[in-house]
């Protein structure tokens, strides 16, 4: 049911004020959400663990259409080997839709990037799977869901935990723990778009997340990414760094960055909404870098709009004057609703403890 501000509310027991579910809010005029009691705060997506395939097409934000392997059979990974029968690499290689689950727990040491083809769900619920050595590469693919995995210890030049390029779309990365790779933890470049990253935990890393490769890739203006309810725990920079793309950040917790929290480079549009920025030694959260797009004569930085963000421990926004009101998208232009809590100590506690890989049972699969 809509109210005077264009929101609708989800009912909660005991008359506890709910989080807002934004529904076509007017740009730059949305009132702050109501603060909920700590015992009622929770992360979104509580319904997606009711059945195995309840994940499909349930992401909030730009990746909301990702169905993964919804229309394919259940495929069971039975080996921790890098390749061969029963391995994850073998499952991801095929062109047919698959919903991939694991019958084993442990570490998969990848000797090279593991290429993920279209219409795949890699579902780590019910087991504890860690990928190391290399990461996943999503190359010219669509409809991929990656859920409840760990990534740690990737070694080598240009080795990311999850590399999304080129021209991949409809991607959802949910409940993953990512740490200590030689390049990025998540890199999204080369016209890859319609991606949501949610409930992930990032740690022990320098260049955490890059969106947009470099100023020469002007076709990256098509890119759109939502990042929400993630915990960036002491990672040094790039939470994210953005070129050209439209990025919606909400209800994330960024703590103790080493250089900056969020960076807007050439033509980036970043809508930062109800996030928690808690400074360590470095106090300024937002950074602007001027670069010249290959098809322009003059260099420019990007735009950041901060709405309802919480700055702790002396953190300063560092917003440029009037930056973000011009040339700035609003999420409601692209998706109808999203769930957001007030940026409170209670939300910070939940993001600290309930992001990344989770010990959750694998739900039962229901026949299609």
Q: What is the pLDDT of residue 20?
A: 52
pLDDT score at 323: 53
Question: Is pLDDT of 292 > 50?
Answer: yes
pLDDT at 313 over 50: yes
Q: What is the pTM of this model?
A: 0.90
Contacts of 220-225 with C-beta under 8 Å, sequence gap 24+, read 220/189, 220/190, 220/191, 220/244, 220/245, 221/245, 221/267, 222/191, 222/193, 223/188, 223/191, 223/192, 223/193, 224/62, 224/193, 224/194, 224/195, 224/334, 225/62, 225/188, 225/193, 225/195, 225/196, 225/197
320: which DSSP letter? P
Phi-psi region of 153 (alpha: psi -120 to 50; beta: other; left: phi over 0): left
- pLDDT at position 305 is 95
Cα separation of 239 and 101, whole Å? 30
Question: What does the alpha-carbon distance between residue 164 and residue 146 come to, in Å, rounded to a whole number?
Answer: 12
Assess contact for 266 and 215: CB atoms under 8 A: yes
pLDDT (tens digit per residue) in 61-91: 999 999 999 999 999 999 999 999 999 999 9
Task: Answer yes or no: are the C-beta atoms of 91 and 118 closer than 8 Å.
Answer: no
3-state DSSP call for residue 64?
coil
- Domains plus CATH for the chain? 7-55+154-354 (2.160.20.10)
Residue count of the chain, please give it.
368
> So what's the pLDDT on residue 6?
32
For 212-253, write each residue's pLDDT tens digit.
999 999 999 999 999 999 999 999 999 999 999 999 999 999
pLDDT-derived band at 46 (thresholds 50, 70, 90) equals confident
If you average pLDDT over residues 342-359, what whole number do you get?
A: 95
pLDDT digits 0-9 by tens, 127-178: 999 999 999 999 999 999 999 999 999 999 999 999 999 999 999 999 999 9
Percent with pLDDT over 70 in the chain: 87
- pLDDT(368) > 80: no
Q: Identify the three-state secondary structure at position 46.
A: helix
Catalytic amino acids?
A: 238
Report the pLDDT value the prediction gives residue 325, as an integer from 0 to 100.
55
Distance, in Å, from the CA atom of 276 to the CA atom of 253, rounded to the nearest integer, reads 5
The pLDDT of residue 60 is above 50 = yes
Q: Where are the alpha helices (DSSP H) in the chain?
A: 88-93, 345-354
Please give the mean pLDDT across all residues of the chain.
89
Paired sense of beta strands 337-340 and 20-23, if any? antiparallel
Please determine, for residue 346, whether its predicted confidence score (pLDDT) is greater than 90: yes
> Partners of 58 in the beta sheet?
none
């Amino acid at each position: 049911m809509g109210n005077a501000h264009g929101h609708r509310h989800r009912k909660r027991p005991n008359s506890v004020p709910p989080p807002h579910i934004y529904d076509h809010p007017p740009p730059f005029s949305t009132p702050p959400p109501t603060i909920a009691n700590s015992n009622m705060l929770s992360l979104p997506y509580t319904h997606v663990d009711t059945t195995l395939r309840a994940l499909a097409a349930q992401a909030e934000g730009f990746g909301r259409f990702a169905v993964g392997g919804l229309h394919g059979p259940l495929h069971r990974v039975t080996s921790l080997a890098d390749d061969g029968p029963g391995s994850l690499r073998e499952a991801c290689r095929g062109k047919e839709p698959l919903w991939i689950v694991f019958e084993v727990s442990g570490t998969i040491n990848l000797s090279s990037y593991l290429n993920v083809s279209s219409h795949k769900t890699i579902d780590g619920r019910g087991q504890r799977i860690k990928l190391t050595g290399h990461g996943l590469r999503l190359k010219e693919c669509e409809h991929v869901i990656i859920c409840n995995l760990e990534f740690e210890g990737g070694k080598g030049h240009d080795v990311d935990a999850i590399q999304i390029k080129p021209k991949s779309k409809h991607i959802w990365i949910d409940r993953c723990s990512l740490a200590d790779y030689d390049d990025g933890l998540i890199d999204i470049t080369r016209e890859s778009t319609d991606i949501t990253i949610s409930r992930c935990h990032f740690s022990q890393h320098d260049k955490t997340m890059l969106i947009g490769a470099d100023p020469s890739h002007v076709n990256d203006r098509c890119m759109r990414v939502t990042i929400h309810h993630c915990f960036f725990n002491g990672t040094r920079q790039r939470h994210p760094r953005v070129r050209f793309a439209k990025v919606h950040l909400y209800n994330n917790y960024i703590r103790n960055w080493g250089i900056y929290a969020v960076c807007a480079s050439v033509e980036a549009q970043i809508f930062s909404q109800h996030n928690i920025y808690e400074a360590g030694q470095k106090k300024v959260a937002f950074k602007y870098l001027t670069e010249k797009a290959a098809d322009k004569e003059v260099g420019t930085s990007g735009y950041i709009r901060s709405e309802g963000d919480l700055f702790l421990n002396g953190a300063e926004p560092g917003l440029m004057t009037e930056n973000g009101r011009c040339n700035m998208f609003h999420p409601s232009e692209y998706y109808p609703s999203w769930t957001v809590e007030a940026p409170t100590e209670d939300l910070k506690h939940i993001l600290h403890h309930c992001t990344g890989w989770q010990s959750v049972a694998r739900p039962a699969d229901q026949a299609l």
